[in-house]
């Protein structure tokens, strides 16, 4: 009798889980965060690097982003938008992705574990040039 109750309980549990709504790829892509591409100038060693970040959250046009630097560092960026071509009415498919955000970044660590000597803090000025929203 205990086995029958257990089987019936598991069947009802699986039925309640299996009643999922239809999966829409478009809705899933809309829920992904914005991917931003840009450059950064390091104030510690006076070099340029490439940044790839995603938006974590925003408040009054100021956004907090987290991502990766081409110097093998994890970075956090606080940025403010200066220019968005989409807001100016540009509807050309590639040009409407261009926006210019100016910000400050800080990075730490070395994702490439073979280079242990690059594990210092890095900071500087960043400029986001392309913003991709799926």
What is the H or E stretch that residue 64 is in?
Answer: strand 62-69
Please report the pLDDT score of residue 119 as a whole number: 60
Asked if 115 and 68 touch (Cβ cutoff 8 Å), the reply is no
Q: What is the CA radius of gyration of the chain?
A: 22
What pLDDT shows up at residue 3? 67
Q: Partners of 55 in the beta sheet?
A: 65
- Residue 125's pLDDT band, with cuts at 50, 70 and 90, is very high
Mean pLDDT computed over 103-121: 71
What's the mean per-residue pLDDT of the chain?
Answer: 78
Q: Note the pLDDT of residue 39.
A: 92
Which pLDDT does position 16 carry in this prediction? Answer: 56
Please say whether the beta carbons of 73 and 110 come within 8 A: yes
Residue 7 has a pLDDT of 66
pLDDT at 103: 92
Express each pLDDT in 60-71 by its tens digit: 889 899 988 888
SS3 of residue 19 by DSSP:
coil
Q: Where are the domains of the chain?
A: 32-132
């Amino acid at each position: 009798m205990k086995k029958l109750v257990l089987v019936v309980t598991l069947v009802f549990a699986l039925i309640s889980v299996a009643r999922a709504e239809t999966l829409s790829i478009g809705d899933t892509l809309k829920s992904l965060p914005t991917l931003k591409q840009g450059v950064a100038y390091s104030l510690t060693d006076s070099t340029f690097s490439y940044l790839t970040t995603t938006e974590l959250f925003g408040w009054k046009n100021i956004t907090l982003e987290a991502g990766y630097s081409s110097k093998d560092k994890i970075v956090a960026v606080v940025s403010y938008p200066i220019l968005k071509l989409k807001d100016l009415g540009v509807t050309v498919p590639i040009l409407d992705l261009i926006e210019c955000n100016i910000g400050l970044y800080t990075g730490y660590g070395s994702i490439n574990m073979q280079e242990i000597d690059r594990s210092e803090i890095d900071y500087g000025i960043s400029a986001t040039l392309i913003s991709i929203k799926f």
